[in-house]
């Protein structure tokens, strides 16, 4: 299979370049209405683009210095779930502003006692006429302080098993009863938040899908989250990439040390493997299929790859690597210093590496589920049952 992109004379490239000639500095709304924010989505929100078309659009926008709107949770997670299960009214109301970056979104999933074991959530949603009354607490909510809406899962039937009786909502973040408290990282930044919901009223029309059937939608969101968190830059799709680091090394004459050269070569190999897996996930999206276990495979690889990128960047900085104001070869400290401090979080956020390996073991390799140690079963006994 040929994984090279089409040449400069390809009609898809010409179409994008012609559009950019007419829109040299496009707004987020113009990019969204042209279908260039999420090209693989169906019209009118995308272009039904196949993998090659999507990569060509990405390439041409990058070449022109045009950036898509920054709304990672909205575009990467909330939007695909609404597209998958939302009503037509919900799609018409939320998708275009979301793509245009006009309304930022956050995710209200994790709880203090339900992080990796998300189905153990305790937030309650009780129907009261045409509204649901929400009470509970969420944590590690990225971008909550900037968000207009959040995707929220809450328990609507506590008598059902924990992976049932859960419903999926669109939550206005300015609703009375919502309190947002910042969580300050060791980087000094404020990415994450705690969110407290006290008697928050959400219109029943904000329910996505069926009541008590939200767990399947949460899995769609988590699959898209794992794709989104493992795309682009080494920091969950943001920040520098392995190729950025390699460019810095090349610009300074390369590396003579054979061990450093081997580590640099390994980074390049990892980045190419991730690029090829991305083609598989893009193809699944185009076919209308939700991300499968390959999303977990890619997230494991991408998170560990990101840590490798920043570990090597620190080592390349030499003795200056202990400082927070110097990058490799004197590079931008804002890019590399922050990234090194943030990188340990990569294998925890969005589902830990251990959880992802369990998903792969059970859904890809067909291994048995975890044994209930309280019952004292051996692996052999568990398999016989």
338's tokens: 């922050």
Regarding whether 327 and 242 lie in a shared domain, the answer is yes
Regarding whether 235 and 186 lie in a shared domain, the answer is no
In a domain, residue 90? The reply is no
Are the C-beta atoms of residues 55 and 5 closer than 8 Å to each other? yes
Regarding whether 259 and 203 lie in a shared domain, the answer is no
Regarding whether 248 and 197 lie in a shared domain, the answer is no
In a domain, residue 190? The reply is yes
φ, ψ of residue 230 in degrees (nearest 5): -115, 30
Distance of CA 310 to the CA centre of its chain: 20
Regarding whether 173 and 122 lie in a shared domain, the answer is yes
- What is the rounded end-to-end Cα distance, in angstroms, of the chain? 44
Q: Please confirm, yes or no, whether 111 is among the known catalytic residues.
A: no
Q: What pLDDT does 380 receive?
A: 44
Q: How many domains does the chain have?
A: 3
- Reported pTM: 0.73
Burial 195-227, CB ≥16 within 10 A → b, else e: bebeebebeeebbbbebebbbbbbebbbbbbbb
Please give the Cα distance from 360 to 298 (Å, whole number): 11
- Best CA proximity match to 359, nearest among 346, 372, 369, 345: 369
Beta strand 149-155 with 105-108: parallel, antiparallel or unpaired? parallel
61's tokens: 């926008």
Owning domain of residue 157? 105-210
The catalytic position among 60, 103, 111, 225 is 225
Regarding whether 114 and 194 lie in a shared domain, the answer is yes
> How far is the CA of 263 from the CAs of 93, 102, 248, 310, in angstroms?
48, 41, 15, 12
Query: What average pLDDT does the chain have?
Result: 83
In a domain, residue 270? The reply is yes
Regarding whether 125 and 242 lie in a shared domain, the answer is no
- Best CA proximity match to 244, nearest among 178, 332, 166: 332
> Over the stretch 309-333, which tens digit does the pLDDT of each residue have?
988 988 887 766 656 665 554 455 5
Regarding whether 236 and 203 lie in a shared domain, the answer is no
Regarding whether 358 and 309 lie in a shared domain, the answer is yes
CB neighbour class for 183 (10 Å; exposed up to 12, middle 13-18, buried from 19): middle
> Over the stretch 158-214, which tens digit does the pLDDT of each residue have?
998 877 899 999 999 999 999 999 998 877 778 889 999 999 999 999 999 999 999
Regarding whether 287 and 342 lie in a shared domain, the answer is yes
What's the whole-number mean pLDDT along residues 355-384? 64
What's the whole-number mean pLDDT along residues 275-291? 68
In a domain, residue 15? The reply is yes
């Amino acid at each position: 299979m040929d994984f090279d992109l089409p040449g400069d004379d390809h009609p898809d490239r010409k179409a994008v370049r012609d559009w950019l000639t007419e829109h040299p500095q496009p707004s987020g709304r113009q990019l969204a209405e042209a279908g260039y924010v999420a090209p693989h989505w169906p019209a009118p929100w995308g272009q039904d683009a196949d993998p090659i078309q999507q990569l060509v659009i990405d390439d041409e926008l990058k070449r022109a210095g045009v950036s898509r709107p920054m709304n990672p949770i909205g575009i990467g997670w909330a939007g695909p779930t609404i597209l998958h299960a939302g009503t037509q009214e919900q799609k018409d109301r939320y998708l275009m502003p979301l793509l245009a970056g006009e309304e930022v979104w956050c995710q209200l999933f994790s709880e203090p006692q339900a992080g990796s074991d998300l189905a153990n959530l305790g937030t309650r949603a009780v129907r009261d006429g045409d509204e649901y009354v929400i009470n509970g607490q969420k944590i590690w909510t990225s971008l909550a302080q900037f968000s207009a809406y959040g995707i929220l899962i809450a328990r609507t039937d506590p008598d059902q098993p924990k992976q049932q009786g859960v419903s999926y909502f669109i939550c206005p973040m300015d609703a009375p009863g919502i309190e947002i408290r910042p969580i300050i990282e060791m980087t000094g930044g404020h990415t994450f938040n705690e969110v407290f919901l006290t008697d928050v009223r959400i219109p029943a029309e904000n329910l996505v899908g069926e009541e008590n059937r939200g767990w399947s939608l949460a899995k769609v969101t988590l699959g898209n989250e794992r794709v989104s968190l493992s795309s682009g830059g080494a920091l969950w799709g943001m920040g520098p990439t392995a190729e950025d680091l390699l460019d810095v090394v090349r610009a300074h004459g390369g590396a003579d040390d054979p061990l450093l050269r081997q580590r640099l070569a390994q980074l390049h190999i990892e980045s190419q493997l991730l690029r090829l897996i991305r083609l598989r996930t893009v193809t699944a999206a185009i076919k209308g299929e939700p991300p499968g276990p390959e999303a977990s495979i890619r997230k494991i690889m991408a998170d560990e790859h990101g840590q490798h990128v920043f570990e090597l960047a620190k080592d390349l900085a030499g003795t200056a690597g202990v400082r927070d104001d110097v990058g490799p070869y004197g590079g931008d400290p804002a890019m590399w210093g922050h990234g090194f401090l943030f990188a340990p979080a990569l294998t925890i956020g969005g589902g830990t590496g251990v959880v992802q390996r369990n998903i792969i073991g059970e859904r890809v390799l067909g291994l048995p589920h975890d044994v209930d140690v309280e019952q004292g079963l051996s692996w052999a006994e568990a398999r016989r049952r």
